[in-house]
Structure 1
Amino acid sequence: MPEMDVALKETMQIDGAVGAALVDHTSGMALGTVGGGKDLDLTVAAAGNTDVVRAKLRAMEMLNLTEKVEDILITLDTQYHLIRPLGARSGRGLFLYLVLNKDRANLAMARHQLRAIERTIDI
């Protein structure tokens, strides 16, 4: 899937990017990963964040909210974890997952760039 590979490489160009993945939230499997390392296992993170996405979607359903989730932000001491469900019809059930170094990242710009990258993905 060349579009996915290109999108993940572009994601790593975002200031402060440490790792990124495209994840299927129905299975918890990472379809593609880039970056990470010994301190960040992106396949484990993908599976764990699948639970976060499922929980949020379940809560929205129980609250009868019909809005879409733009992104989910998890703030740690030294990192931002951004989860962006894909909105295009071809991306249903998928989300982009991006880990940023908090000291080097501009969160507003990262959200803007991730939104632009999302639009280029056609799976």
Structure 2
Amino acid sequence: MPGIDECLLEAMRLPGARGAALVDWTSGLALGAVGEFPGGDHEAAAAEAAEVARLTAEQRAFTPEGYDASGDGATQEAAEPPVEDLIISNRDSYHLLRFVPTSFDSSVFLHVWLSRSDGNLALARIRLGEMAGRLVLG
């Protein structure tokens, strides 16, 4: 079971990977980062990605049927994020944000920045899902 550094290095082996970070979407802080980031500042990129992730995760329109964000009901699985992933594309790159299930309040996601010309979005989505399931936080 890999830790943060191992997971991020594995993400950087994805075709077209330019940068990878593990971000707390509640605070906007990068818990770890490798590679390059838009604007050259991984903390600013983490804060901006966290804002998008938080807005998405807090909207009922994007949550599965029966999801109880309050945690009071029995319908929500323990610490399952309300959204699996987000894909943001622009002319030259993809940003893939994969929410990570945790044993505590689930508020972290993996953010991978992929070159559009070299990246494989489908492969990255599959691999990030696998990485998120194996990631050990603690």
Percent same amino acid among aligned pairs?
A: 36
My pick for the range that moved more, 89-98 or 18-27, is 89-98
Between Structure 1 and Structure 2, the one with more helix by share is 1
Query: 2:122 corresponds to which residue?
Result: 108
State the Cα deviation string for residues 58-106 of structure 1 (Å, max 9, x = none).
2127988528311001001100000011023257111100000000011
Query: 2:78 corresponds to which residue?
Result: none
1:89 aligns with 2:103: yes
Number of residue pairs aligned between Structure 1 and Structure 2 = 122
Unaligned runs of 5+ in 2: 68-80
Paired residues for 1:1-123 under 5 Å = 3-36=3-36, 39-60=39-60, 65=65, 66=67, 68-90=82-104, 92-123=106-137
One-letter identity of the residue aligned with 1:50? A
Shift of residue 118, structure 1, vs aligned partner: 1.0
Unaligned runs of 5+ in 1: none
Q: Distance in 2 between matches of 1:46 and 1:38?
A: 10
3-state SS of paired residue (1:89): coil
- Superposed CA RMSD: 2.3
Q: TM-score, normalised by structure 2?
A: 0.79
* Closer, same or farther: CA 114–91 of 1 in aligned 2, 3 Å: farther
Q: Distance in 2 between matches of 1:8 and 1:119?
A: 14
My pick for the range that moved more, 5-14 or 54-63, is 54-63
Whichever of the two has the greater Rg, that structure is 2
